[in-house]
Amino acid sequence: MTSVLDRFLRYVQIDTQSDPQSESFPSTAKQRDLSNLLVVELQGLGVEDAHLDEHGYVYATLPSNSNKTDIPVICFCSHVDTSPDVTGADVVPIVHKNWNGSDIILPDDPTQILKVGELNDLANQIGNDIITASGTTLLGADNKAGVAEIMAAAEYLITHPEVKHGTIKILFTPDEEVGRGTEKVDLIKLGADYGYTVDGESVGTLEDETFSADGVKITIHGVSTHPGYAIGKLENALKIAGDVLAALPKDSLSPETTESKQGFIHPVHVEGIQEKVVVEFIIRDFTDEGLKEKEDLLQDILNTVLNQYPYSTAKFEVKEQYRNMKKVLDKHPQVIANAVKAMERCGLAALPRSIRGGTDGSRLSFMGLPCPNIFAGEHAFHSRLEWVSVQDMEKAVEVIVALSQVWEEEA
Ligand SMILES: [Zn+2]
């Protein structure tokens, strides 16, 4: 057994919720409460350079203990913040030991029930020790499971010098949940060649592909008049926006009608008055061409609608959000191959797969640190039913250790 359970229980009781409305960095000062603790604990393990920088990032180095000199430097990365969707204050973690498969009713709100048939992967956990929150908060396994696993793996490597590895870098980031996790990261200082975010779901998960993502903002300028004297003049921007939304495909190209490798056009925000309306969309696909097609379609829809409103105008703005990391990872096949090898060594059949979303790793990959995502065991994240099993966390520690070894052996 490693220290992963102890660490996890300690870390989830520290409130680190991030805040999308905040303009400071990190978005909430309380994230530093955990980051500071991690630095103290790393220093306690003898990791001399562990430190928290002015932006709230933790950097630390486990020096190589191998006599090979050409081993790539590998980074393990997790985020300390929790989702703004559900409170992370006063989390009371509960360990349901040797779980027998029956419904888990959370004591502080009995309407919150983990049911075998309803939660992905829960049925595979009978006999394991399941950790949940108490019903009124999230648990924070996303991503404190990853944080605890990296910490426990670091402790294991330090206390087992017979396990050979190259230089290992540890990076704990703030504000992943509000999309700013990589904003102030210093990759030069980090000095890693390749990385792994430890922020995936079920055991064996290895994600090498994310969405490519753009945002589209349409600003519609209608023609505003006094409604009592508007005949033949008024062109209501609210109705134009409504027409645009109504003209979107009904049976395809939306989140609710697509899966696996299909992309979508998704309105996320509408705001305005009869004179001016702003409609915001997110566009998702796995290829740049697919993104472009969807943006062209949306532009066509807008133009067609505008033809019926001769005096109204609209501005169509596209903003890049992130790109599919597979484009980068395909140039560095060893990153995935070594992860597959490490998981196999731990008895897991790893299957590289795609996620219909983005990760900090997609941004890091394009910033110069190829960085797929491996499992942390976290489940039902961003909800009060969030759970993780102790056995899955132990497995993740094992994989991080094995991965460190594989890179040394392959060098
Ligand atoms: Zn996460």
pLDDT digits (tens, 9 = 90+) for 62-82: 999 999 999 999 999 999 999
How much distance in Å is there from the Cα of 130 to the middle of ligand 1?
Answer: 19
Average of per-residue pLDDT across 34-61? 98
**How many structural domains comprise the chain?**
2
* 186 in catalytic set: no
- 83, 201: one domain: yes
The Cα–Cα gap between 369 and 328 comes to 9
* 221-255 pLDDT, tens digit each: 999 999 999 999 999 999 999 999 999 999 999 99
Find the CATH number of the domain harbouring 54: 3.40.630.10
Q: What is the DSSP letter of 257?
A: G
| Of 297, 321, 345, the domain-final residue | 321
- 364, 309: one domain: no
- 334, 363: one domain: yes
- 361, 317: one domain: no
Longest dimension (CA), the chain: 86
* 259 in catalytic set: no
The Cα–Cα gap between 144 and 80 comes to 6
- 165, 99: one domain: yes
Q: Which two tokens stand for residue 335?
A: 């990153």
- 76, 154: one domain: yes
**Among candidates 94, 205, 72, which has minimal Cα distance to 141?**
94
- 193, 151: one domain: yes
Residue of 81, 129, 208, 394 with catalytic role: 81
How much distance in Å is there from the Cα of 144 to the middle of ligand 1?
Answer: 9
* pLDDT on residue 215: 96
How much distance in Å is there from the Cα of 69 to the middle of ligand 1?
Answer: 34
- 397, 299: one domain: no
Q: Helix 288-306 vs helix 237-246: angle between axes, to the nearest 10 degrees?
A: 130
| Binding-site residues | 79, 142, 177, 199, 382
Find the CATH number of the domain harbouring 241: 3.30.70.360
How much distance in Å is there from the Cα of 173 to the middle of ligand 1?
Answer: 11
Average of per-residue pLDDT across 303-323? 96
Residue of 41, 129, 155, 176 with catalytic role: 176
How much distance in Å is there from the Cα of 393 to the middle of ligand 1?
Answer: 15
* pLDDT on residue 198: 97
How much distance in Å is there from the Cα of 147 to the middle of ligand 1?
Answer: 10
Checking if the pLDDT of 190 tops 80, the result is yes
| Arithmetic mean of pLDDT over the chain | 96
| Of 276, 291, 321, the domain-final residue | 321
pLDDT band for position 2 (cuts 50, 70, 90): confident
Strands of 162-287 (E only): list them.
168-173, 194-200, 205-209, 212-221, 264-272, 276-285
How much distance in Å is there from the Cα of 142 to the middle of ligand 1?
Answer: 5
| Binding-site residues for Zn(2+) | 79, 142, 177, 199, 382
Under 8 Å between Cβ of 291 and 281: no
Sign of the CA dihedral with 93 first, then 94, 99, and 102 last: negative
* pLDDT on residue 359: 84
* 90-111 pLDDT, tens digit each: 999 999 999 999 999 999 999 9
* pLDDT on residue 120: 87
- 342, 202: one domain: yes
- What residues contact residue 263 under an 8 Å CB cut-off, 6+ apart? 211, 253, 283, 284, 285, 286, 290, 291, 294
Domain that holds residue 222: 213-321
* 339-392 pLDDT, tens digit each: 999 999 999 999 789 999 888 899 999 999 999 999 999 999 999 999 999 999
- 124, 52: one domain: yes
- 56, 192: one domain: yes
Q: Tell me which residues have their CB within 5 A of the ion that is ligand 1.
A: 142-143, 199
- 39, 77: one domain: yes
| Of 305, 321, 337, the domain-final residue | 321
pTM equals 0.89
Checking if the pLDDT of 6 tops 90, the result is yes
